[in-house]
Every structure is written in structure tokens, then in C-alpha cells.
Structure 1
Amino acid sequence: MTTAETVSDVVVSRLEHNGFRFALLTLSGSGGRPATLGPASLEQLGAALDAVETPDVDAVAVTGTGKVFCAGADLDNMLKAETPEESEGIARQGLNVFGKLAALPVPTFAFLNGAALGGGLELALHSDHRIAAASVRAIGFPEVRLGLIPGWAGIPLSVALMGPEATARLVVRDALAGRHLTARDAEAAGLVDAVVPEPEFLPAALDTAAAILADGTTAHRPQPSQAGWADALKAARRELDSRLHGAAPAPYRALELIDRTVQDAAFPEAEIRAFGALVLSPEARASIYAFRLTQSLSKNPAGRPAADPRPVTSVGVIGAGLMASQLTLVFARQLRVPVLMTDLSAARLDKALDWIDVQLAKQVQRGTLTKATATQIRGLISVTTDKQDFASCDAVLEAVFEDLAVKQNVFAELEPILRPDALLLTNTSSLSIEAMGAGLAHPERLLGFHFFNPVAVLPLLELVRTPQTDPASLATVFELAARLRKTAVLVADTPGFVVNRLLTRLFSEVLALIDDGGDPAAVDRLLDPLGLPMRPLALLRFIGPVVQQHICETMHSAFPDRFRLSATLHKLIEAGLPGYLDDDGDVPPEVRALLPAARSVDPAGARSRIIAALADEVEHMLAEGVVAGPEQIDLCMILGANYPFHTGGLTPLLDRFAGTSHHPRPASAGSLRTKDSISA
């Protein structure tokens, strides 16, 4: 027997199952969206809990709709807070409402039908028992990545269930990495009491709940150990220092609160104050802006034409180096179409296939692919040394040496072989697309299709159009990017495009300091207060001096007044050295011998110089119309250069440190309205 009534976005059902009477509260968002928790929805949930007549039921359960249990707190509401009283009030309201669930005099359950993130997980943790669907793959706390902390008792409740070390891993490390727990992971960790199969999730969850009620006890949970926490806390702080250098306060506050929980479990005011302060912090505002940006512009890229895309049912890749091998594997795995790779040397092709085989075997071993699927993907990949075999390809991407003449020769040889409407794509990182197609009969179908390394990990694709690009070709590359599960940003055909142009301006300033006598190790640490994903000289070593010098030369040719060439980098390349620093961050003697006479560098002044240069380059790019606006620049730096959310991509960081203003402040983010509710 089931009856139901609606309290706004909370449907309260009364049902009997296996002899037990349940009050089931089903959360939903307006317009069929996932449930989120803002002032109104929390008030509605509180009213629904108040309305439950506990003498008439044996248990109360909360569940969600579709594939989401609850997406968490409404971030829009947090952006409206302007005072500590308002920001702390967000925490107080949630704790008050969730406390009503925890205080009910009957057993309570959270039926996790789908994702339970942030405040959604905190809601579940206030119940006595949690039962999850086996298909759930997103249980966790993303707050720290958003510049916040769990503000509705998520930290003490998690410590009570998992212990401090596991809580730190979930709240800090996993959050910063963008990782979540699956239902099985959460069960193993102690957050979830039982996992039941689908598609009949609700009956199975009710069966499990009825069995628990019949047993007459709460969940049998071992007391989590706190042994070794002090050492784990020190290690976690060292890891944060090595990555963030104190630039983002949220993860440090989270660790402090976990430690405070271990020392004294009763401290709600400390948690409320810490949450309230972070809500108002510039890092949180920038992080929320970055999150909204990746959600909105990833789904609705600027510049996509209305033309119908042409079908792409087969792809060719020119080249067999590491980048070409990565591209071949990504095309085969994501598109599930035949992919043909060519090179001048059969031996290089064999080496590329060996690399692909190893990568597929690793994915099978990790469980991300089944053996059958890996075999299917491998069967789509073939090789040839004869470019005539590319005649049937719908799109061909070149990934050969970064030299304009070489790439022009590749396309000149390839164009007569292909159909006139087949796409010609280049993975160039900085060269002119228009110059590349100057001698082609059909330059309108040539576009830049610039991936970032590692290809399988970084989601950005810089789509580079020229004045000759036709709408159908542009629509086709947008569609192709979407099928590859990449985020496409349309950029103008200008040297360095977005990411490499900005990184090279940064390198230009950093290397100028070294050329002028600055110690490389000290110069490398100048930008630590910004919390960038990698120090400049470590990044240069990853890219390789030769490759970076080539990009620097391209940028210097285009903008000699802003991109100077480095004498010490040239000497480094002549000496065959991999970088300025060794693996320990020290300057080796052989590098020291190439450097000019040492002089001291003022850290604050040098840092201001670099930040001012980046702000200047952004202004030039916006004036030139390289992208549609500053939001696209920020998106590129987040998805292509792995800039963390607390930077806002780049322009909010520059606004904060350089006093510039490239767009409406992230605090309001009024220009970034998304279709879906934004939550954590």
C-alpha cells in the first residue's frame, strides 16, 4: 500500500513493505533537474521532516530521482553571501534541517539511487543507515576543489565512520583530484552499509531496510582506528605544500578540522566559522566560477555553426611518434571507427603498435576495459607506409615534426588522394593554419585540431579556423570533438593559439630573469604563491628544451617586442641538457657553468613582473579576438594547462594579483548562467 503527498520538491510517500511501515521522502529538483539544497529546498525538506508522524511509521527513508540522490548545496546561493553572518547562515540552516533527520525517534535510511555529492552525501550521513545502488559511481566531497569544506558536519560524521586518515583521503586528496567513490568503494570504506542491485533498486533497498529493522539493531560498524593519524596528517600537509604552497586555504582548513575532530568531536562552531570564511574567500569565488565555466562552456561551446556536420566513419593519422600513437588510440577507443596510421618507416609503425598494445593491456589490467573491448579497439587500428590507402578516410590528422614546410608537404601529398570534402586536420601547437594550407586546392576543409599531452587525460581541444574555413567543416570538427569527449574551444589562427601563447609568455619572463643572472632554483619558486600545477622549469623539462625553444622562436617571430629568445636556453640545448634543474630541484654544475654572473632577484618584484606580463598578453589576445572572451581563455588554461580551480583558469588570478579586470568578477559570475543547477 502506498500513498503520497508533495511538499514542493519533496514527495512524501507512506508505504508498507515486508510488514514495516515506511515514510519515504523523495527529493527532486525543479524542471526534472537533480535535487540541490538551497534555502528554499532546505526549508521544504525541513517541513517534510516535521510533517512525518513518527508514531505511524517504523522508519523514515530519503531517496532521490533518476541517477542522482542529491547533487549537493546550491552554489548560486553561496555566491550571494556577502557577510560572515550570511555565509555562516548557510551552514547553520543545513545543520538545523539535517539535525531533524538525525533526531527522529525511528530508524532512518538514505537510499542512494544515484550520485551523492557534497551536501547530498552529508544528508545521507545524518541518517542511521545508507543503502546504495550498485551502479552508483559518484559518492564524495568535491568541496575542497571548489575552495570550500563540507559545511554540514560531513567531516566529523566521516571521521566517525571511516577514521581520520580515510576521511582526509576522501575530503582532500580525492577532491583535489576530482575523484569519487563507487558504491562498492563506499561500502568498503564504511560510508555505506549495503549495496543492492538494479534495476529494481527501491524494492531491493526496502528489502534490506526491512531486514535491518527485523534485526532490531543499528548497523554493526567497527570503531575506526585513529592510529598513525599524526604521521598521516604531517604527510598530507607536506603533500599539499608541494602542490599548492599554501595558495589555496580550503584543503588546509579541512585537515585542521579533521584533526580537531580527533581531538574534540564537539566543535560545530569551529566548522561553521571555517566554512563561512571560505565561502567569502577569493579562492572559493574563483573556484566556483571555474566550475561553472567548465560545466557551461563544455556543453555549449562558443562559435559552433548551425551547419550540419559531415559523417566521420574512418580516420587517418600521419605520423607514428608518441603523440600520433596517443591520438590513434583515442580515435579508436572513443569513435569506434577504423583508424589508419602511416609513417615513412615500417619499424616506427611497429613500435607505435607495440605501445598501443601495452596501453590497452594496462587498461584491461586496471579494469577500465574488458579484454573483449580492448581486442575490438585494437582491431580497428591498422598501419601502412602508402598514403594512397588513405583515399577512403573521412578525416586525416597530421602529427609530424613541428615545421611549417614539413606539414605543407604532407598536405600537398595527401590532398589529391582524398575526397574534396574530407577533413584535413593538424595537431600543430603554434604554426599558422592558413600558411599551412596556402597551396591547397581546398583550404576550406583544413583546420587546427590541437590536443594536449597526455591526450587521454587532458580534455581540451583548441579548434583553429582560418578565413577560408567553411561552416560544414567547422561543424564537423565540433561534432568530432564531442564524440571524442573533448571540450572544444574555437580560437583564431594566431601564433601559439591560447595555451602555448600564454605559457610561452610566462617562459619568456622566467627565462629573462635567468638570463639576467637570477638563480634558476630561486626563479622557479617565484610563482609558488599562485599555486600553479607545476613550477615553470619543471614544466619546461617536461616539454623539452628543444620543443620549447621552437615555440619561443615562433612567438618571437610574431611578437618580438614581448617574446624574447633566451641565451641560456640556447646554451642548454647546445649542451644537450634536459633542463635547468635536476630531479631534486637543484642546479647541476654543468648547467651552472652556462649561466651568467649571479645577481639577486627580488621575489615580489619579479613575481609582479611575470603577472603583469601575463595580464598584458591576455589584453592583447582579447583585443585581437583570439577567442570569444576571457571565459574561453580561462577554460583553455583549466582544461589544457591543468590550472586548478582556485586560479579561476587565469584571469581571476590576474585580477586578484595584478589589479586588472578582464571580466565581471567571479564573485558575481552573472554572465555564466548554466542550464543545470550548480551544486557541491
Structure 2
Amino acid sequence: MSEKPATLETVRERRTTSVESVTEVTTEYVAYAGHRFAILVLRNADGRPVTLGPASLDNFEAAVRALDVSGVDAVAVTGTGPVFCAGADLKKMTEAVTPEQAADVARRGLEAFGLLEALPLPTFAFINGVALGGGLELALHARYRTVSDSVRALGFPEVRLGLIPGWGGIPRAAALLGPAETARLVVSDSLGGRNLSGRAAAELGLVDAVVPEDGFLAASLDFASGVLSGTPVPVPAAVPAAAARDGGARPEPAPTVGPAAVEDLRAQLDSRLHGAAPAPYRALELIVEAATATAGAAGQEAEIQAFGELLLSDEARASIYAFHVTQSLAKKPAGRPAVEPLLVRAVGVVGAGLMASQLALVFARQLRVPVRITDLSQDRINAALEWIGTQLDKLAVRGQLDPAEAEAIRALVTGCIDKKAFADCDVVIEAVFEELEVKRAVFAELEPLLRADALLLTNTSSLSIEEMGAGLERPGRLIGFHFFNPVAVLPLVEIITTPQTDQTTLATAFELAKRLRKTAVLVTDTAGFVVNRVLTRLFNEVLSLLDDGADPATVDHALDPLGLPMTPLQLLQFIGPAVQLHICEKMHQSYPERFGVSASLAKLVAAGLPGYLDDDGGLSPEAASLLPAPKAADAGAVRSRILAALAEEVTAMLEEGVVAGPEQIDLCMILGANYPFHTGGLTPLLDREAGTAFHPELRVSGLPSPRDLARHLQGEK
């Protein structure tokens, strides 16, 4: 499935096709409180959020060079609307195909921002909105920073994208925060997809003042005027008071505290990633260097080199691809029909178990409409309502919900054993036992009780939607709506259609997912859909090896070098053996040539064991007794077998038209199975590890893979 690498000439041709979203930089001269300010205003020419590519950096540099510093007392940088600067232009960045071009991406930003830092007068960043990556680095090149109290996204997402902050963010954050906090911000928060609010950034010492959103510019100028007048102002602890008053030298590096915390983080990375993603390790190296050495030009060159090498890595290209997939397909899901969805004003949930309780809570919290639960037992319903109340209390204690909001949501959820309570519901979702006849019986009972236009949703993980609705008078209003556990955390919903599904039902399902703040992927009605089909094929290979006597530890840890979130047996323990056995049996019925039913898994379920592993992650004695005597296995061969099986299954899914393309499979694996960005979801990982070509030449920008290009250039030499 591989293709010949592109030539350098075709690379150059492709580089001319990308159009940069160019940021304009205008200068406004303002007199305020007896001081004169030059304010550089960033705005995107086409109305999109401000990003920085080559042309945008040229504009910024030209604006700084054109300043008449003799006529002002200070210079400030700010943005417009809800965004200060969203960071680098990733599309332009990934056009780099040689080490020199990749390093130049970092060098160019440092040069442009360095002009601001080198100005011979106080500089300010007025952070009006989102400041991520290069946007936050731009702000850190200013001497002082204010931030609007409405800002919810400041941070460094680069490590999650397979990169490092390459425009000076690490040394400047380390000078303000010290190595331990910088490591949390640059590495831990990035990998976790977390950002800081403006207030959290101020508490940390990353910004100097939080000002109201209403009157933001005036409040920021008040702060700046106070600095210029020598009025005491809040500054980070690492900044000497004299420097704070006179806008003089850059702050001295913070004390080199926290090396143990950095090493602890490195150990956590090893246990989680096993070296699969190089970016967090390179970031930690630079953080330690910034905190323990005089960086200067040598430190800057190390930063440039690290950024350039990472930009050309397979992991970065896969990560940036994953970012684009999760952003673009979430906003514009494939398959959403252009018809008006129904209005959802009340929701019913059939069942009162843990999954049903989670569904009721997410519907009530996100839709703020009445949610009614039914079950065969009022005691089970009461337990579900109690669980929901406890979760709301926890959210209120954590500050994620106002206590009054929590009480209002609690009041929306009610329950009784009579399904007639669903009579005025616009949507009813079932979350009962995963058995086709049970679900059929539920829908047969529901249909005459509901309005003709009410939607019927099933949260089935593997059963046929068409078979489930075969006895309905109006099967067109039944649709699969498969959530993932835990419902509040995982953002994926698989929407499963049948030939009978009508367009209004489909449009309403997409709109409902959007209102629930979930990402919807349209899937055809095939066994296992996407996530469970892929994971069950993985389990099939793992359990087959165990049943044949392969060493369990070797098999379970063979995929560790890929940096997946769990080992297969840990994941099976999380899902539950009984649930997975049921899915395996269903997949075997549908695809007997590729899916089997593990003898040891069946014995495990019959014995009532929670899984194969003990509390320490090793094979439990009880599970060991169900397996043959172990024999040596080669981890590399095991890994190759599993990846080849996954490649075969993904190819079959695409040939069957289960989803629109490999991007949808990757989106499902990222959002439903928590696969990290460096895998690209799955298909980019298979491209580089199993020799497939789901994304010919390169998975992001159509350029050849870095490895293929390196071989090509070496051949030219």
C-alpha cells in the first residue's frame, strides 16, 4: 500500500498551494493619563482568529521597526475580539520539509518577537482573549502583561502537537515560574489538553494583572500608567521590585527549585508513553537547561534545533493531523443533512443503571430541559437520582457549577416506573441490558406511548439498529446514539443510521450531539460500529495469543512502545470481561473469519473474575489457572501481528463504507478510545508502523513523510 516518495520538485510545487491566513498589525498612538502609548493591534484580514505565519510575522516585524519610540513612553500589543493570538499558522509551519526550513520556523518567530523585547522602553501585552502557543510566547516577550477576567484559554499546546514552544516560551516561563511549574504548564497541561484562565495565570505569576472585560483597554492602560508612574503594582515574585518600577532589565531566573518534580514528571512520562512521543522529553530537557544554566545564544540555538527536529518528526505530523481532524470534523461533521432538526424540550431515559444515570445527568446539565428516568424498580430509580445529586454536589464543590445551577439541574431530573411519563418527551434513549430482544421489547412498549415525531435513541455498543427497529411502525425515527464511558469525559458520539432512518431524525441527532457538546461521527449499521470493532480486533489477537500459551506479560506490554493509554488487558479490565465477551460473540457472528471467541475470556466470565490482572498489573493467579503454561514470546512479533490485524480491519471498514474515510476512524479513536495525538488516532500510526498508506506521502499537508524525504535527500547527495 506504499507509494513512491515525492521528489523535491513536487514538494516545492505543493508548498506554493497553501494560502496563509494573514494577520494585519496596525499601530494606534494613544495619550492616556499623561503618558503616550503606541499600541500594536493584531487582527486577521479575513476575520478568522489571529495566527502567525511568515507573512504575519513580517507584518509584525515591520510594525515594530516603524515605531517612533522617541515620541512615546511605552509600547503595547493587543488583539481584537475574543482572541489575542491563537498561535502559529500550523498549515504554513508544516510546509517545512528540510531541517533548515524547519529550524527557520523557530528562528523567524524569535527574531520578530525579539524586536519587541529589545525596545528601549517599557512594553506591555494586553491579553484581551485567547493566547495559545506562539500567542502566549508573544505576550511573554513584553515586559508586563494584563489579561481580561473573561479569558479562559492561555497555555502552550505544542507538546500535545508533537512540538515544543519554539518562540522563547520555555526560558521566559521558567524565569517567571521556575522549572516545576513550567514543566506542568508546558508538558502536563499540554498533554492533558488543559489551559489556564486569566485568573489562574495571574495566581501562577504568568501575568501581572487581571482587569475587567468591560473597559478592558482602559483598565489595561490604567495598569500601564501606574507602572510608568512608579505606582506599586502586582508583579510576579521572581521580578525584582526595581525592575518592576522602571521597566529596566529582564527578570532574573527564578531559583532552581523543583528538580525532583521535573524528574517525577519524566518518570510519569516513561510509564505512560514509554518514549513513544519525543516532544515532552525534549521540552523537559530545555526546561532544566533554562532553569540551571545561563541560556543566552546557546540556549536559543538549542531551542531552535529541538523545534526543527520535532517539526520533521512523524509524531509531530501525526499530532498536527490529529489536531486538524478533531477541530475540523467536530465543527463540520460529515453526513449531517441540510434539513431542520426537531426541537428537543424534554428527554426520557429508559434504565437507571450507571450508564443511564450518566446519560440523564449529561442531558439535564447540557440541555437544561426536563429529564425523566424509568426503570422496573423505584428503588433503582431513587438510587440513580441520588447518584446524580452527588455528582452535582461534587461539581459545585469544585467550582465547576454554581450551587444554584446545581440545584436547578437536580430539579430537572425526575423518575418513576410508569413509561407514560415519556408522553411529552421529544427524545427517549434506552440504556438497558445489551440484548437485542430486550431492547426490541422496550421500543415496542414505548412506540404507542410517544408522539409520532418523537425520536427513539439506542445506546447500544454493537447490536444492529435495523434489527432492533424491525417491528416498529415507524422505524425511520430510530437511530443509534452511542456514548462512551465515562459519558461526562469522552466527547464522542457514534450516530448509527439504517436504510430506514429519515433525514429529520438524522439532523436532530446531529443537533442533539452538538448541544450536548459532543462530537458526532456518522457510522453505518455494522457490528461494533467503529471504536468497539477496532478494539475488539485488538482483543481478538491478544486473547488468541494468550489462549495459545504466549507469555501474558510479553503480550500485554508488546504495544507499550506505541504510547497507548492502557495495555490491552488493563483496558479489558476497565470495560469488563462480561461486556467484552458479549461484543466478541457478536463480532464473531458477523465476521467469523476474523473474530473468534476466546476460551479463556469465557472461563473468566464464568468464574466471575474482574479481569486477567491483579491489583499490581500482573497476571492474577486465578486468571493464570485458566491459561496454558506460558511460553516465551517475542514482543516485536506480537506487536507486528496486532498492528497487521488492525490494518486489515481498518481497510475492511473503509471498503464496507462504515465511515466516510480514515479521518473518521481516527477521530473515533482519539475521542472515544482516548488515543493520544502522536498516534494520529490510528491510521497514521499504521502508516508508519505497519507499512500502510491510508495517508499517502504525508498525513497532514500532502508532503512526503519526513523519513521518506530524508532518504530522498540523502540519495541526491
Class of the TM-score when normalised by the shorter of the 2 chains: over 0.9
**Cα deviations by residue, 1:332-388 (Å, 9 ceiling, x for unpaired):** 111111111000000000000010000000010011111111111111111010112
What secondary structure, in the 3-state scheme, does the structure 2 residue paired with 1:191 have?
A: coil
Higher mean alpha-carbon deviation, 46-55 vs 182-191, is at: 182-191
Contact 1:68 1:114 survives alignment (8 Å)? yes
Could you tell me which residue of structure 2 aligns to residue 375 of structure 1? 407
How far residue 593 of structure 1 moved from its aligned partner, in angstroms, is 1.5
Given that 2:206 and 2:236 are in contact with CA atoms closer than 8 Å, whether structure 1 keeps it comes out as: no
Which stretch shifts more, 418-427 or 608-617?
Answer: 418-427
1:182 and 1:339 map into 2 onto residues whose CA distance is 32
Give the equivalent residue in structure 1 for 2:289. 260
Q: Over aligned residues, Cα RMSD in angstroms? A: 1.4
Shift of the 512–398 alpha-carbon distance from structure 1 to 2, 3 Å rule, reads same
Structure 2 stretches lacking a partner, 5+ long? 1-21, 239-252, 704-717
Cα pair 1:520 1:580 within 8 Å, conserved: no
Deviations 1:135-184 (A, max 9, x none): 11111100000000000111000000000000000000000001011111
Point out the more displaced range, 283-292 or 515-524: 515-524
Further displaced range: 39-48 or 655-664: 655-664
- Verify the 8 A CA contact 1:35 1:72 in the aligned structure 2: yes
Alpha-carbon separation, structure 2, partners of 1:217 and 1:103: 24
What is the TM-score with the length of structure 2 in the denominator?
0.91
Question: Contact (CA 8 Å) 2:523, 2:659: kept in 1 or not?
Answer: yes
Matched residue, 1:244 = 273
Alignment of 1:509-548 (within 5 A): 509-548=541-580
User: Residue in 2 aligned with 1:295?
Assistant: 327
Alignment partners' CA distance in 1, 2:415 and 2:172: 55
Superposed CA deviations along residues 429-461 of structure 1, whole A, max 9, x for unmatched, are: 000000001111010100000000111111111
Superposed displacement of residue 227, structure 1: 5.2
Deviation at 1:263, TM superposition (A): 2.6
Assess if the C-alpha contact under 8 Å between 1:63 and 1:112 holds in 2.
Answer: yes
Q: What secondary structure is seen at the aligned counterpart in 1 of 2:449?
A: coil
Cα distance in 2 for partners of 1:452, 1:667 equals 27
- Counterpart of 2:167, as a letter, is W
CA distance, structure 1, for counterparts of residue 319 and residue 154 of structure 2: 20
2:65 pairs with 1:50: yes
Provide the C-alpha distance between the structure 2 equivalents of 1:523 and 1:402, rounded to a whole number of angstroms: 29
Q: Residues 319-334 of structure 1: matches in 2 within 5 Å?
A: 319-334=351-366
Is 1:87 the counterpart of 2:119? The answer is: no
Partner of 2:145: 130
Return the offset for 1:216. Answer: 7.5
Judge conservation of contact 1:466–1:493 (CA < 8 Å) in 2.
yes
- The residue that corresponds to 1:398 in the other structure is 430
Within-5 A mapping of 1:343-382: 343-382=375-414
SS in 2 for 1:415: helix
Equivalent pair of 2:254/2:291 in contact (CA under 8 Å): no
Could you say if the C-alpha distance between residues 670 and 481 of structure 1 is closer, same or farther in structure 2, counting changes exceeding 3 Å?
A: farther
- Aligned residue pairs, count: 665
Contact 1:24–1:61 under 8 Å retained in 2: yes
Cα deviation, 1:185-221, whole Å, max 9, x if unaligned, reads 1111111011111211000000110001000799754
Identify which range, 220-229 or 169-178, moves more after superposition: 220-229
**598, 601, 604: which one pairs with 2:633?**
601
Question: 2:262 maps to which residue?
Answer: 233
The secondary structure found in structure 2 opposite 1:10 is: strand
Measured against aligned partners, the alpha-carbon deviations of 1:580-606 in whole angstroms (never above 9, x if no partner) come to 111211122222222102111111111
Structure 1's 190 and 151: CA in aligned 2 closer, same or farther, altered over 3 A?
Answer: same
Conservation of the 8 A alpha-carbon contact between 1:156 and 1:265? no
Task: Answer yes or no: is 1:659 the counterpart of 2:691.
Answer: yes
Contact 1:520 1:581 in 2 (8 A): no
Say if 1:22 and 1:60, in contact at 8 Å, map to a contact too: yes
Match status 1:116 vs 2:122: no
| Structure 1 letter corresponding to 2:281 | Y
Letter paired with 2:270? D
- 1:238 Cα deviation from its structure 2 partner: 0.8
Q: Distance in 2 between matches of 1:536 and 1:131?
A: 47
- 5 Å-filtered alignment, 1:151-162, equals 151-162=166-177
Q: Secondary structure in 2 aligned to 1:416?
A: helix
CA distance in 1 between counterparts of 2:535 and 2:546 reads: 17
| Aligned 8 A contact 2:347 2:369 in 1 | yes
Change in CA separation of 1:217 and 1:96 when aligned onto 2, cut-off 3 Å:
farther
Percentage of matched positions with identical amino acids: 65
TM-score (norm 1): 0.96
Task: Sort the Cα spacing of 1:218 and 1:386 in 2 relative to 1 into closer, same or farther, 3 A.
Answer: closer
Rounded to whole Å, the distance in 2 between the matches of 1:514 and 1:191 is 51
* Residue correspondence of structure 1 range 600-619 to structure 2 within 5 A: 600-619=632-651
Aligned in 2, Cα 1:590/1:228: closer, same or farther, shift over 3 Å?
farther
Greater shift in the superposed pair: 166-175 or 217-226: 217-226
Deviation at 1:30, TM superposition (A): 2.2
Partner Cα distance (1:350, 1:383) in 2: 8
Q: How far off its partner does 1:222 sit?
A: 2.7
User: Would you say the 8 A contact 2:179–2:256 is kept in 1?
Assistant: no
Judged with a 3 Å threshold, the aligned counterparts in structure 2 of structure 1 residues 216 and 98 are, in CA distance, closer, same or farther, namely farther
- For 2:646 and 2:35, locate their aligned partners in 1 and report how far apart those are by CA, in whole Å: 65
**How many angstroms apart in 2 are the aligned matches of 1:505 and 1:61?**
56
Equivalent pair of 1:109/1:127 in contact (CA under 8 Å): yes
Please state how far the C-alpha of 1:79 moved relative to its aligned partner.
1.1
Could you tell me which amino acid in structure 1 is paired with residue 287 of structure 2? I
Distance in 1 (alpha carbons) for counterparts of 2:460 and 2:345: 23
Partner of 2:43: 28
| CA distance in structure 2 between the aligned counterparts of 1:386 and 1:175, rounded to whole angstroms | 48
Residue 559 (structure 1) aligned to one of 578, 591, 594: 591
Q: Is the 8 A contact 2:175 2:254 kept in 1?
A: no
| Deviates most, 540-549 or 218-227 | 218-227
Deviations for 1:457-487, whole angstroms, at most 9, x for unmatched residues?
A: 1111100000001111111111111111111
Change beyond 3 A, Cα 1:479–1:8: closer
Distance apart, 1:665 and its partner CA: 4.6
Amino acid at match of 1:89: D
Give 1:404 shift. Answer: 0.3
Give 1:670 deviation, angstroms.
Answer: 5.2
SS, match of residue 344 in structure 1:
coil
Moved more, 14-23 or 576-585: 576-585
Q: Does the CA contact (< 8 Å) of 2:23 and 2:51 recur in 1?
A: no
Q: Show CA shifts across 1:414-443 (max 9, x none).
A: 111111211011000000000001111010
Superposed counterparts of 1:118-517, under 5 Å: 118-215=133-230, 220-223=235-238, 226=255, 228-266=257-295, 267-517=299-549
Question: Residue 676 of structure 1 corresponds to which residue in structure 2?
Answer: none
Could you tell me which runs of 5 or more consecutive residues in structure 1 were left unpaired when the two chains were aligned. Answer: 1-6, 672-680
SS of residue in 2 equivalent to 1:11 = strand
> What is the aligned counterpart of 1:585 among 600, 617, 621?
617
Letter paired with 1:124: A
Q: 1:401 to 1:666 in 2, by over 3 A?
A: farther
Contact 1:339 1:380 in 2 (8 A): yes
Contact kept, 8 Å, 1:334 with 1:484, in 2: the verdict is: yes
Bigger CA drift: 515-524 or 102-111?
515-524
- Rounded to whole Å, the distance in 2 between the matches of 1:221 and 1:433 is 58
Q: For 2:145, what is the secondary structure of its paired residue?
A: strand
Contact 1:521 1:585 (8 Å CA) reproduced: no
The Cα shift of 1:662 comes to: 1.4
